[in-house]
Amino acid sequence: GQQLNQSPQSMFIQEGEDVSMNCTSSSIFNTWLWYKQDPGEGPVLLIALYKAGELTSNGRLTAQFGITRKDSFLNISASIPSDVGIYFCAGLQYNFNKFYFGSGTKLNVKP
């Protein structure tokens, strides 16, 4: 299947710091999504990106759809303890009609 490389695998940051994580692939995707997953729960959608170059914000979260359509990044500004969790990127290719997920970035925030 299509592989999405998500980095970093984990992060330990101090409350108040900004965070950046990204997702890259050798394949082109038509839609990028970013999800957050808490332990024992399903992923919750954070941001959806539909056009190359698109920059979208949701509160303290900002995500961009890379110009090449092969990558996306997610930034979290002024992190807080409730940002703790695992963040997944997901890419959709129209012809395959299903999402491929990255392996996740585990975020730890120290108060």
Partner 1 sequence: DTGVSQNPRHKITKRGQNVTFRCDPISEHNRLYWYRQTLGQGPEFLTYFQNEAQLEKSRLLSDRFSAERPKGSFSTLEIQRTEQGDSAMYLCASSLGASGSLTDTQYFGPGTRLTVL
94 binds partner 1 (CB under 8 A): yes
Q: Which amino acid is at 102?
A: G
How many Å apart are CA 65 and CA 49, to the nearest integer? Answer: 6
101 binds partner 1 (CB under 8 A): yes
Q: Which amino acid is at 23?
A: C
100 binds partner 1 (CB under 8 A): yes
Q: Closest distance between partner 1 and the C-beta of residue 68, in Å?
A: 19
CA angle 19, 24, 25 (to 5 degrees): 165
35 binds partner 1 (CB under 8 A): yes
- Which residues does 7 contact at the CB level (< 8 Å), separation at least 6? 21, 22, 23, 24, 105
34 binds partner 1 (CB under 8 A): no
Q: Closest distance between partner 1 and the C-beta of residue 16, in Å?
A: 28
Binding site for partner 1 (CB under 8 A): 1, 4, 6, 30-31, 33, 35, 40-45, 48, 50, 88, 90, 92, 94, 97-104
